[in-house]
Structure 1
Amino acid sequence: MGAYDEKKETCGTICLKYLLFTFNFLFWLAGGAVMAVGIWTVAEKSDYISLLSSRIYAVSAYILIVAGIVVMITGILGCCATFKEQKGLLRLYFVLLLFIFLLEVLAGVLAYVYYQQLNTELKENLKETMTQKYQQAGQDHITQAVDKLQQEFKCCGSNSSSDWSESQWILTQKANGRVVPDSCCKTPTENCGRRDHPSNIYKVEGGCITKLENFILDHLKIIGAVGVGIACVQIIGMIFTCCLYRSLKAEPY
């Protein structure tokens, strides 16, 4: 009877080991995906981040990058801990899983909080950023971001093209007679911004603010879903780890 119980326990432990190994492999792949989402958000969309007064959007992305790196390292550690059957490694692995879990939940919560306040922030700050900082000394990153925003989203001004009448740059001789930046033009050419007729420039209802808001909201959904989704999957890993830990006999560290 005792031999049967020992064999049964051994089989259960083996099953747990392979389940946890499979989980860690998938977890490692998920870590790469999480990190990729974070890097893509920061690297490819960094121009738009500069147009936001709040840093929550960027912080959420950086948290995902850190979490993704730790996830990949943890996945490798988990494989080692599983097959070496060392309780010390399993404890460390569990702590790292818990740490990543909290990081990703934090990223998800930040994304949700910013999701709620994004519209207010854009209404209060985007127009001022565009009109007061465009083509100003030391604000090259803002100028590039505004030009990219207007060209990619085919829009002009924060709320409408008339916003540019309040621009510090438009009101100076440096604008060379332009009434809107050349990036407002459907076919950008030098000084094309002198004519603001709908046949020449983008006259989008709601201006760029609506376009940018929808864009960021879509990405916040991705950040939030990835963060919370992976965090939920980690709960399974923590359960497997606890089960394997309890199934192991006391061993030296």
Structure 2
Amino acid sequence: MADVEGKTHTCGTICLKYLLFIFNLFFWLAGGAVMAVGIWTLVDKSDYVSLLSSSTYTVAAYILIGAGAIVMVTGMLGCCATIREQRCLLIVFFVLLLLIFLLEITAGILAYVYYQECFPLCYQLNAELRADLKERMIQNYQEPGQEEITRAVDRLQQDFKCCGSYSSADWTEGAWIQTYADGRLVPDSCCKTPSDRCGVRDHPSNIYRVEGGCISKLEEFLLQHLLILGSVGLGIAFLQIVGMIFTCCLFRSLKEDIY
């Protein structure tokens, strides 16, 4: 049945409309936040990502951008359905919310199952990733054609106030110390106050000495971001449940007002 123009709504229906509109506004903002995190990861943190052999984090960033765009479109659809009071749009909006919610739940279950299955191998895989990261940092630094790696290492050491993959002593093992060091013991980006050739002194008063080196700092950084993304995901999932409840209530209320 077509929507009836000029009909009078009950107080409950009007309240539901405002609640659902406010929900869609928050849902739209949440989608924009998720999208912004993905873009920020690609633009601002791309140097760190270049140090990893795996493309998982790059793919994850693109997934975040896509998911954020879908959530924003869904939120706009919900606003239109609420303002225009079209029950067919409310049904489409509810189905989209339900599909996104089921995808989030499925992804969470699969991630948990995968973690449980691979747990005995996690330490070995982590060791392989650490070794690969050390290789990239120490062997490729300032090598011809490795400008991106060089820039990433310098930024990593300055941002995280660290030196070397595991420790500052790692720099004595690579090709850099033999070819490009020019008397320096560590790169200048290891210095607490960077300046030309400041790396000739590797005393703790001059360079950063962090237990676990830059690798531990990078791992801590990635874990913190995973926690943030997980918290955002849980928050959006909670919003979706609230939105589905409001949508069902408004759909029923509009139907009762028509009849």
TM interval, short-chain normalised: 0.7 to 0.9
Query: Closer, same or farther in 2 for the Cα pair 1:158/1:133, shift >3 Å?
Result: same
More displaced 10-residue stretch of structure 1: 144-153 or 42-51: 42-51
Task: Please tell me whether residue 201 in structure 1 is matched to residue 192 in structure 2.
Answer: no
TM-score by length of 1: 0.81
Aligned residue pairs, count: 242
Query: What is the CA-CA distance between 1:12 and the residue it aligns to?
Result: 4.2
SS in 1 for 2:172: helix
Aligned 8 A contact 1:150 1:208 in 2: yes
- 1:197-227 Cα distance to aligned partner (Å, 9 max, x none): 3333222221111211112211111011112
| TM superposition outliers: structure 1 runs of 4+ over 6 Å | 106-114
- Cα distance in 1 between the residues matched to 2:141 and 2:154: 9
Amino acid of the residue matched to residue 128 of structure 1? E
Structure 1 contact 111–221 (Cα < 8 Å) conserved: no
SS in structure 2 of the partner of residue 171 of structure 1? helix
- Give how far 1:110 is off: 9.1
SS at match of 1:179: coil
- Aligned counterparts of 2:89 and 2:219: Cα–Cα separation in 1: 45
Q: Which moved more, 1:187-196 or 1:145-154?
A: 187-196
- Rate the CA distance shift 1:109–1:198 in 2: closer, same or farther, 3 A: farther
CA distance in 1, matches of 2:213, 2:142: 20
Say if 2:50 and 2:149, in contact at 8 Å, map to a contact too.
yes
Higher mean C-alpha deviation, range 218-227 or range 190-199: 190-199
123, 127, 136: which one pairs with 2:130? 123
1:31-56 deviations in whole A, cap 9, x for unaligned?
A: 22222333333322221111222333
Per the alignment, residue 172 of structure 2 pairs with: 165
Preserved contact between residue 57 and residue 220 of structure 1 (Cα < 8 Å): no
Quick one: percent identity of the two aligned structures?
70
**What amino acid maps onto 1:30 in structure 2?**
A
The answer as to whether partners of 1:157 and 1:208 remain within 8 angstroms in 2 is yes
Contact 2:23 2:239 in 1 (8 A): no
1:148 equivalent in structure 2: 155
TM-score (normalised: structure 2): 0.79
Counterpart in the other structure of 1:64:
64
Instruction: Specify the alignment match of 1:235 in structure 2.
Output: 241
- Answer with 145-154 or 176-185: which moved more: 176-185
CA distance in 2, matches of 1:101, 1:62: 19
**Which of 185, 201, 218 matches 1:212?**
218
Greater mean deviation of Cα atoms: 35-44 or 8-17: 8-17
Distance in 1 (CA, whole Å) between partners of 2:239 and 2:128 is: 33
Structure 2 CA distance for partners of 1:104 and 1:60, relative to 1, 3 Å: farther
Q: Can you give the 5+ residue segments of structure 2 that lack an aligned partner in the other structure?
A: 1-6
Deviation at 1:166, TM superposition (A): 1.9
CA distance in 2 between counterparts of 1:148 and 1:103 reads 36
Partner residue of 2:88? 88
Residue in structure 2 matching 1:224, options 223, 230, 251: 230
Residue in 1 that maps onto 2:146: 139
Residues 154, 110 of structure 1: alpha-carbon distance in 2 compared, 3 angstrom cutoff: farther
Within 1, Cα distance between the matches of 2:101 and 2:172?
49
Aligned-partner Cα distance in 1 for 2:92–2:10: 23
Establish whether residue 245 from structure 1 lines up as the match of residue 256 from structure 2. no
Letter in 1 for 2:91: R
Q: Which runs of 5+ in 1 are unaligned?
A: 1-6
